[in-house]
Amino acid sequence: MNHSTRTYDSVLDLLPSEHNPTPIVRINALAPVPGFTLFAKLEWMNPFGSVKDRAAWEMIQDLEARGVLSPQRPEKGLVEPTSGNTGLSLAAICGVRGYPMRAVVPSKVPAEKKMLLKLFGAELDVVSDALCPLPGSEDGSVGLARTYARAQSDKYAMPNQYENRANVAAHVRTTGPEIWRQTEGRVTHVFTTLGTCGTVTGLATFLKQKNPKVKIIAVQPSPGHDIPGVRNMLELEVTRLYDPSLIDEVIEVDFKRAYPTVAELCRREGLMAGPSSALIFEGARQYLRREHEAKRLPVAEGGAGAGVGVMIFCDSVLKYMSNLAKHLPQIAEA
């Protein structure tokens, strides 16, 4: 592979690393406050379209390293409870490796994601569940996936992104170092969401080691939200990867704001950000305006702004047209 000419032997060589980072792009027209440089990290530029490529690849490499999966025994594959993106990344990588893949998804997952999972060869179980898998209940998607992994252990291993430390390790190895290098160590704030919390815990672990003053701001949707992939704090008990000691502040945003903001980001910045990215932008905007007014943002010598923020834009809007049709009916009209 050659990153400078972008010539590759396999699609898996495109998976991100410090030397093959996803781009960060500055917010211009919608910059929330003067003197603060805010970047969006475009995770939809990953080969399978979302931030979850990182965790999926790390979890599969870990299972291969431990001999649980092997290209020499491709009849054994994976089963995973997923709201879509992890399943899609796992299914794509499994396809390349020759492993079977079964995804257990909550019924509210957008139709586009279910279709994509099938397109990539995953077998699908759709369970009536919350938007993200719920803990405990054996009829929920976590329980069903676990049942498959136990009853058919010769066919399925379950990575379990909610407990798997490889999910965190992916972001310690890739997302954190990428942000550090791309901002030349000048990053002061990172804005992210809470899902499995692999992203926030991993990148915060790395960046706070580099500079303990880096602020990690998590944006959560208001309760009752319908934004796939993310959680309100009330829904976090399912994950073992949440570490509040690494998070400086959690900002809550009315989830309905995310949908008009999706349109705003498309129209003013040309960024085809999905609803969870728009939620993060909305949280960053609220946070930065408040901190600017309180004069708490970093200032360089001579009074110029010195703040550099990076928002993790988890995936693109393309998979959420059915959600958008509900919240922005005017764009669904022929």
Ligand X SMILES: Cc1ncc(COP(=O)(O)O)c(C=O)c1O
User: Nearest distance from residue 321's CB to ligand X, in Å?
Assistant: 14
Among 24, 36, 79, 85, binds ligand X (CB under 6 A): 85
Q: Does 86 bind ligand X (CB under 6 A)?
A: yes
Across the strands, what pairs with 156?
77
Sequence-ordered list of residues with C-beta below 8 angstroms from that of 301, at least 6 positions apart, any chain = none
Among 193, 220, 316, 323, binds ligand X (CB under 6 A): 193
Q: Does 52 bind ligand X (CB under 6 A)?
A: yes
Q: Does 196 bind ligand X (CB under 6 A)?
A: yes
AA identity, residue 238: V
Give residue 278's Cα distance to chain centre: 13
- Which of 41, 52, 215, 319 is labelled catalytic? 52
Is 276 among the catalytic positions?
Answer: yes
DSSP code per residue over 67-79: TSS-TTSTT-EEE
* 260-279 residues near ligand X, rule: CB under 6 A: 274, 276
User: By C-beta, is 85 or 297 nearer to ligand X?
Assistant: 85
User: Nearest distance from residue 192's CB to ligand X, in Å?
Assistant: 7
**What is the C-alpha separation between 221 and 159, in angstroms, rounded?**
26
Stretch that binds ligand X, among 65-73, 187-195, 204-212, 288-296 (CB under 6 A): 187-195
Among 21, 49, 110, 229, binds ligand X (CB under 6 A): 229
User: Nearest distance from residue 94's CB to ligand X, in Å?
Assistant: 17
Q: Does 247 bind ligand X (CB under 6 A)?
A: no
- Which of 50, 83, 141, 276 is labelled catalytic? 276
User: By C-beta, is 35 or 163 nearer to ligand X?
Assistant: 163
CB neighbourhood size of 236 (10 A): 18
**What is the C-alpha separation between 144 and 194, in angstroms, rounded?**
23
Cβ pair 259, 269 in contact under 8 A = no
AA identity, residue 235: E
User: By C-beta, is 100 or 228 nearer to ligand X?
Assistant: 228
User: Nearest distance from residue 289's CB to ligand X, in Å?
Assistant: 23
CB neighbourhood size of 329 (10 A): 9
Cβ pair 308, 299 in contact under 8 A = no
User: Nearest distance from residue 199's CB to ligand X, in Å?
Assistant: 3
User: Nearest distance from residue 2's CB to ligand X, in Å?
Assistant: 30
CA 204 to each of CA 45, 100, 140, 200, 219: distance values in angstroms, whole numbers, following the listed order: 22, 33, 30, 6, 14
Convert residues 286-315 into a mask of x (bound to ligand X by CB under 6 A) and - (unbound): ----------------------------xx
Q: Does 238 bind ligand X (CB under 6 A)?
A: no
Among 142, 187, 197, 218, binds ligand X (CB under 6 A): 197
Is 319 among the catalytic positions?
Answer: no
Cβ pair 90, 80 in contact under 8 A = yes
DSSP code per residue over 227-281: -TT---GGGGGG-S---GGG-SEEEEE-GGGHHHHHHHIIIII---B-HHHHHHH
Name the site residues for ligand X (rule: CB under 6 A): 50-52, 83, 85-86, 193-199, 228-230, 274, 276, 314-315
Q: Which residues are catalytic?
A: 52, 276
